[in-house]
Amino acid sequence: MKISFYGAAREVTGSCYLVESGGGTKVLVDCGMFQGCNTCDVKNYTNLYFEAKEIEAVFVTHAHLDHTGRLPKLYKDGFRGKIFGTAPTLRLAELVLLDAVHIMEDDLKREQRAMLYSREDVEQTVKHFVTVDYSRDAMVGDLIGRPRDAGHIFGSAFWELEDEQGKRATFSGDVGNYGSKILRPTAQLSPTDALIVESTYGNRVHEDESTRETKLREVVKRTIDQKGVLVIPAFAIDRTQQILFELNHLVEKGLLPEVPIYLDSPMAIKATEVVKDYPQYYNKEARELAASGDDLFDFPGLKLTASRDESKLINDAPRPKVIIAGSGMMNGGRIQHHLVRYLSDPNSTVLIVGYQAQGTLGRDLYEGKKLVDVLQEKVHVKAQIMTIGAYSAHADQAKLVQWVEEAAEKPKRIIVTHGEEGAAVALATRFQQHFDIPSQAPHFGDTIEV
Ligand SMILES: [Zn+2]
């Protein structure tokens, strides 16, 4: 089996691995978009490094754009095979791709920027979606693919691929963090010849997740006391539902006074509906809570603002208020309209709850920049910038090591991807030293024989 790395090699985004089985079957694991870098456009628009027509199937790990965003380009270039994923992943992926094409349509109107693909390409792509439940087999040529629960976002999977020569490779996709209130934990690793594992936080350790809800409660309370505005840039999928779940708990248990909380993201509103449709994917506690009749993502004070007009009305609403809006890295979307208004207000707070890639506004704020560009305006940052790292949907180094530690049998080799250079190399070194397993961080275009 041969694996070539055409994305997420010593960088976080653009996940796309070509797998060629011993019997000559060609498939991809993920076909994601490059995001948040100066060279990303070039990388997204350039020709694929393989013949799209020859690819027989794609195994999708989860719905995030950096794992699904180039599927319609693959279709446009001639791919007509099956696209496998769990039911929630494929529902969410459709939302993600339609949102991406919507942004492209806007860019075309505003800057005459060519679209990477059309709405029609997205509509055709989703016709190739084939759902596979966790631990069920998906067969393509001489390959068998099996999705297992990755615990990263709703529906997320790591894929085990096996060819007729018995060679096995396991693709982690993104591995979840501890402490999700909704998701089940990451499933145990089965024996494998090669583990291809992400390293977004490969050189970092998250803070303890047990204090997360307390911190969230404190920041909302402080906002209320100061009559400020709390802006939470949230990723539409997962992070938003985690936060809604915790706010639901805090409000319904009387631990927080009622305060207007706006979910100002059409995508997040739709994603929450998808999550509500699949309670069988919840962990035990969440499933029991849902079965008891509680709506896990709705509570007094929550207002959903789907339309632009509703969104604009948030400006006029009296303080205090909480606004949850996308994009999660603050480099686009409705969040920017709120940031331009509230970043310079010392009584307001921006709460960072997820990974901020290099080159994004979120990263600038995270790193403490005091003057930033938002919507072509220079804005002085006087609002408090706060981070709760424990909301991360990604495993940290300790969890990734623990995952391998708890494997039924240690992988024969480990290939570290999906992390910035330093993180990927640090994690590979850690695996090598801790387990004495040959470990490496491939470069873009490298091919590895398993
Ligand atoms: Zn992800």
Give yes or no for a contact between 339 and 325, defined as CB atoms under 8 angstroms apart. no
Q: Say if residue 320 is preceded by a cis peptide, omega within 30 of 0.
A: yes
What is the identity of the amino acid at 209?
E
How far, in Å, from the CA of 64 to the mean position of ligand 1?
Answer: 5
Cα angle for residues 1, 151, 389 (degrees, 5° grid): 115
Q: Is the pLDDT of residue 209 over 80?
A: no
- How many CB atoms neighbour CB 245 within 10 A? 21
Q: 3-class SS at 75?
A: helix
Give yes or no for a contact between 374 and 336, defined as CB atoms under 8 angstroms apart. yes
Two tokens at 12? 């976080």
How far, in Å, from the CA of 388 to the mean position of ligand 1?
Answer: 18
Q: Is the pLDDT of residue 36 over 90?
A: no
Torsion of CA 411, 446, 29, 180, to 10 degrees: 60
- How many CB atoms neighbour CB 47 within 10 A? 8
Q: 3-class SS at 10?
A: coil
How far, in Å, from the CA of 415 to the mean position of ligand 1?
Answer: 18
How far, in Å, from the CA of 236 to the mean position of ligand 1?
Answer: 12
How far, in Å, from the CA of 368 to the mean position of ligand 1?
Answer: 25
Strand pairing class (321-325; 229-233)? parallel
| Residue ranges of E strands in 86-208 | 129-131, 138-140, 143-149, 157-162, 168-171, 194-198
Q: Is the pLDDT of residue 315 over 90?
A: yes
DSSP state of 165: T
Two tokens at 160? 């085990």
Q: Is the pLDDT of residue 138 over 80?
A: yes
How far, in Å, from the CA of 199 to the mean position of ligand 1?
Answer: 11
Q: Is the pLDDT of residue 61 over 90?
A: yes
Q: Measured between alpha carbons, how far is residue 448 from residues 13, 115, 165, 173, 435 in Å?
A: 20, 33, 17, 18, 21
The per-residue pLDDT for 88 is: 98
pLDDT tens, 295-314?
999 999 999 999 999 999 99
Helical H segments across 283-329, by residue range: 284-291, 308-316
Q: Is the pLDDT of residue 128 over 80?
A: yes
Give the mean model confidence (pLDDT) for residues 217-237.
Answer: 95
The per-residue pLDDT for 212 is: 87
Give the mean model confidence (pLDDT) for residues 430-434.
Answer: 97
Helical H segments across 57-86, by residue range: 65-68, 71-76
How far, in Å, from the CA of 408 to the mean position of ligand 1?
Answer: 25
The proportion of the chain whose per-residue pLDDT surpasses 70, expressed as a percent, equals 100
Give the mean model confidence (pLDDT) for residues 332-360.
Answer: 93
What is the identity of the amino acid at 91?
R
Give yes or no for a contact between 304 and 263, defined as CB atoms under 8 angstroms apart. yes
Q: Measured between alpha carbons, how far is residue 166 from residues 51, 160, 172, 191 in Å?
A: 26, 12, 19, 11
The per-residue pLDDT for 204 is: 87
Q: Sheet containing 439-440: which strands, arranged edge to edge? A: 138-140, 143-149, 157-162, 168-171, 194-198, 413-417, 439-440
Instruction: Show the domains of the chain with their CATH numbers.
Output: 2-204+393-449 (3.60.15.10), 209-391 (3.40.50.10890)
How far, in Å, from the CA of 59 to the mean position of ligand 1?
Answer: 14
The proportion of the chain whose per-residue pLDDT surpasses 90, expressed as a percent, equals 88
Q: Specify the residue for token string 């424990």.
A: 390
DSSP state of 424: H
Least confident of 217-221, 245-249, 344-348, 392-396: 392-396
30 closest CA partner among 84, 79, 75, 77: 84
pLDDT tens, 167-199?
999 999 999 988 899 999 999 999 999 999 999
- Give every CB contact of residue 110 below 8 A, 6+ residues apart in sequence: none
The per-residue pLDDT for 217 is: 96
**Cα(64)–Cα(236) distance, integer angstroms:** 10
What is the identity of the amino acid at 79?
F
How far, in Å, from the CA of 367 to the mean position of ligand 1?
Answer: 22
Q: How confident is the model at residue 207 (pLDDT cuts 50, 70, 90)?
A: confident
Q: Is the pLDDT of residue 390 over 80?
A: no
The per-residue pLDDT for 393 is: 84
Q: Sheet containing 349-352: which strands, arranged edge to edge? A: 302-304, 261-264, 321-325, 229-233, 349-352, 384-387
Give the mean model confidence (pLDDT) for residues 46-59.
Answer: 97
How much is the mean pLDDT over the chain? 95
Q: How confident is the model at residue 158 (pLDDT cuts 50, 70, 90)?
A: very high
Give the mean model confidence (pLDDT) for residues 367-385.
Answer: 96
101 closest CA partner among 60, 73, 127: 73
How far, in Å, from the CA of 174 to the mean position of ligand 1?
Answer: 5
Q: Measured between alpha carbons, how far is residue 253 from residues 223, 239, 246, 249, 260 in Å?
A: 19, 21, 10, 6, 17
Strand pairing class (447-449; 17-20)? unpaired
The per-residue pLDDT for 178 is: 86
The per-residue pLDDT for 332 is: 86
Q: How confident is the model at residue 38 (pLDDT cuts 50, 70, 90)?
A: confident
How far, in Å, from the CA of 11 to the mean position of ligand 1?
Answer: 13
Reported for 209-212, long-range contacts at CB under 8 A and 24+ positions apart, including other chains, are 209/177, 209/178, 209/179, 209/390, 210/179, 211/390, 212/179, 212/246, 212/388, 212/390, 212/391
What is the identity of the amino acid at 236?
A
The per-residue pLDDT for 173 is: 97
Q: Is the pLDDT of residue 374 over 90?
A: yes
Q: What per-residue string of b and e applies to 175-186 under the rule 16 or more CB within 10 Å gives b?
A: bbbbbbbbbbeb
Q: Is the pLDDT of residue 117 over 90?
A: yes
How far, in Å, from the CA of 385 to the mean position of ligand 1?
Answer: 24
Q: Is the pLDDT of residue 240 over 80?
A: yes
